[in-house]
Structure 1
Amino acid sequence: MFNQTPRHCCGRSLGLVLLAGILTLTSGTGWTLTLAAEEEFVGPCPSWLDVRRDFGAVGDGIADDTAAIQQALDAIRSHQQASVLYFPAGTYRLTRPLKTVRQAHTDNMVSLVGETPEKTVLLWDGPEGETMLQWDAWYSKISRMTFDGRGRAGVCLFYGPSFSTYNETSDLIFRDAQNGLVFGGPQTAGQAENEVLRCRFLRCETGIQAVNWNSMDIWVWYCWFEDCGRSIHNVMGNWHAWHNVFIRSRVSDVSIANLMVFSVVNNVSVGSRCFLDFSSGHTWGSPTSITGNRIVDPTGDCAMVLDNAGPYLVVDNQFRIRPNTRAIRMTWADQTLVGNAYTQDDAVEERGRFRRIAERVVSPDQISDALPELPSVPPRKTRRIIEVPPNASAEDIQKAIDQAAQMVGERPVVHIPMGVYQIDRTLVIPPGADLQLVGDGASEVATRLVWTGSPDGCLVHIAGPGQVSLQDLHLNGGRASALLVELPDDANSRLLADQLNVTGSSSIHEDDLPVALRVEGVGEATVQFRAFQGSGQAGRWVQVIGNNREPRVPVAIFTGATGSAVGQYEVRNGGALVVRSIYHERSSDALCGLHLSESGNLSIDATRFSYATSPSAPTVLAENFRGLCTLATCLFMPVATEDPCRIEIRGDGSHTSVLALNNQFWVIKPPATSETIWLNRAQPPAQGGLVGCNINTNNKTVAAKGFEFLRNLPDHPDPARSPRGASPLQDRGAVSDETIVRHLRLLRETVPVYPEKVSEGTEIVIRRVIATSQGKLTVWIRGKK
Structure 2
Amino acid sequence: MRGLSYLPLFLSLFSAVHSATTYDKRVVIEDNADLEAHLNKRVFGAHDDHFPEGHDRLYPRDDAYNHLKDKRAVPLEVEAARNIIKQAQVAQAKKNRNRFRNPIRPTFELRPPRKAAKSSQRVASSSAGDPSISEEVTDAAKLIAEFEAPTYNETLPDLGPGFPKLEKRQGGAFWMEGVSHGAVAIGGSAGYQVFRNVKDFGAVGDGRTDDTAAINLAISSGDRCGNNCGSSTVKPALVYFPSGTYLVSKSLVGYYNTQMVGNAANPPIIRAASSFVGLGVISSNVYVEGADGGQWYINQNNFMRQVRNFIIDMRAIPNVMEGQGVRPAGIHWQVAQATSLQNIQIIMSSRADTTHLGIFMENGSGGFMSDVTFSGGAIGAYLGNQQYTIRKFSFTGCKIAVETHWNWVFSAKSFLINNCQLGFNISAGAGNGQGTGSITIMDTIILNTPKGIASFLSGTNRTSLIVDNLKLINVPIAVTSNGATVLPGGTTVIDSWGAGIAYDDSDSIGYRGKAQQGGTVLFGNIAKPAELLDENGNWFERSKPQYADVPASGFYDVKARGGARGNGRSDDTAALNNALAAATAAGQIAYFPHGIYLVTDTVFIPPGAKLVGEVWSQIQASGGRFNDAANPRVMLRVGNPGDVGSVEIQDLIFGVKAPTAGAILMEWNIKASAKGSAGIWGRSLLVT
TM-score, normalising length from structure 2? 0.53
What is aligned with 1:51?
Answer: 197
AA in 2 matched with 1:127: S
Contact 1:437 1:470 in 2 (8 A): yes
Shift of 1:487: 2.4
What is aligned with 2:39?
Answer: none
Are 1:133 and 2:282 counterparts?
A: yes
Shift of 1:74: 1.0
What is aligned with 1:435?
Answer: 609
> SS where residue 172 of structure 1 aligns?
strand
Contact 2:463 2:500 in 1 (8 A): no
AA in 2 matched with 1:175: I
What is aligned with 2:638?
Answer: 462
Deviations, residues 106-133 of structure 1 (Å, cap 9, x unaligned): xx11211110386311100043673312
Q: Structure 1 residues 308 and 409, CA, compared in 2 at 3 Å: closer, same or farther?
A: farther
Q: Structure 1 residues 448 and 356, CA, compared in 2 at 3 Å: closer, same or farther?
A: closer
Pick the aligned partner of 1:210 from 370, 383, 390: 383
Contact 2:395 2:416 in 1 (8 A): yes
Which of the two has greater helix per residue? Answer: 2
Shift of 1:174: 0.9
Larger deviation, residues 120-129 vs 41-50: 41-50
AA in 2 matched with 1:183: M
Using CA pairs below 8 Å that are at least 6 residues apart, which structure has the higher relative contact order? Answer: 1
CA distance in 1, matches of 2:164, 2:366: 34
Shift of 1:420: 2.6
CA distance in 1, matches of 2:500, 2:446: 26
Q: Structure 1 residues 285 and 46, CA, compared in 2 at 3 Å: closer, same or farther?
A: same
Deviations, residues 598-633 of structure 1 (Å, cap 9, x unaligned): xxxxxxxxxxxxxxxxxxxxxxxxxxxxxxxxxxxx
Among the aligned pairs, what percent are the same residue? 15
The 5 Å alignment of 1:464-613 reads 464=640, 465=643, 466-477=645-656, 478-488=660-670, 493=673
The 5 Å alignment of 1:669-748 reads none
Are 1:83 and 2:217 counterparts?
A: no
AA in 1 matched with 2:663: S
Q: Structure 1 residues 55 and 230, CA, compared in 2 at 3 Å: closer, same or farther?
A: same
CA distance in 2, matches of 1:332, 1:407: 51
CA distance in 2, matches of 1:94, 1:193: 29
Deviations, residues 246-268 of structure 1 (Å, cap 9, x unaligned): 11112334533223111111101
> SS where residue 272 of structure 1 aligns?
coil
Pick the aligned partner of 1:155 from 329, 341, 346: 329
CA distance in 2, matches of 1:92, 1:374: 30
CA distance in 1, matches of 2:204, 2:684: 36
Pick the aligned partner of 2:437 from 249, 256, 260: 260
What is aligned with 2:469?
Answer: 292
Pick the aligned partner of 1:237 from 400, 407, 415: 407
Deviations, residues 222-265 of structure 1 (Å, cap 9, x unaligned): 12111111111111225321111111112334533223111111
The 5 Å alignment of 1:259-278 reads 259-278=436-455
List runs of 5+ in structure 2 lacking aligned partners.
Answer: 1-160, 166-173, 182-193, 226-232, 286-301, 319-327, 350-355, 429-434, 504-516, 527-535, 560-564
AA in 1 matched with 2:198: R
AA in 2 matched with 1:89: S
Shift of 1:395: 5.6
Shift of 1:275: 1.3
AA in 2 matched with 1:68: A
TM-score, normalising length from structure 1? 0.47
What is aligned with 2:479?
Answer: 304
CA distance in 2, matches of 1:468, 1:333: 40
Give the CA RMSD over aligned residues: 4.1
Contact 2:219 2:237 in 1 (8 A): no
Q: Structure 1 residues 476 and 156, CA, compared in 2 at 3 Å: closer, same or farther?
A: same
Larger deviation, residues 392-401 vs 44-53: 392-401
Contact 2:309 2:344 in 1 (8 A): yes
Q: Structure 1 residues 240 and 151, CA, compared in 2 at 3 Å: closer, same or farther?
A: farther
List runs of 5+ in structure 1 lacking aligned partners.
Answer: 1-16, 22-40, 102-107, 185-189, 337-349, 360-367, 495-752, 756-762, 775-785
Shift of 1:356: 7.3
The 5 Å alignment of 1:311-350 reads 320-321=490-491
Q: Structure 1 residues 283 and 143, CA, compared in 2 at 3 Å: closer, same or farther?
A: same
Shift of 1:134: 1.6
Contact 2:576 2:603 in 1 (8 A): no
CA distance in 1, matches of 2:499, 2:687: 48
The 5 Å alignment of 1:365-444 reads 378-380=546-548, 381-382=550-551, 383-388=554-559, 389-391=565-567, 396=572, 398-408=574-584, 410-430=586-606, 433-442=607-616
> SS where residue 214 of structure 2 aligns?
helix
CA distance in 1, matches of 2:306, 2:649: 16
Shift of 1:169: 0.9
Contact 1:91 1:119 in 2 (8 A): no
CA distance in 1, matches of 2:502, 2:668: 42
The 5 Å alignment of 1:92-241 reads 92-100=246-254, 108-116=256-264, 119-127=267-275, 130=278, 131-136=280-285, 137-152=302-317, 154-160=328-334, 164-176=336-348, 178-184=356-362, 190-211=363-384, 215-238=385-408, 239-241=410-412
Contact 1:462 1:485 in 2 (8 A): yes
Are 1:71 and 2:213 counterparts?
A: no
CA distance in 1, matches of 2:284, 2:500: 40
Q: Structure 1 residues 244 and 353, CA, compared in 2 at 3 Å: closer, same or farther?
A: closer
Contact 1:482 1:772 in 2 (8 A): no
AA in 2 matched with 1:423: V
What is aligned with 1:733?
Answer: none
Shift of 1:319: 5.1
Contact 1:439 1:473 in 2 (8 A): yes
Contact 1:401 1:414 in 2 (8 A): no
Q: Structure 1 residues 19 and 195, CA, compared in 2 at 3 Å: closer, same or farther?
A: closer
Q: Structure 1 residues 91 and 479, CA, compared in 2 at 3 Å: closer, same or farther?
A: same
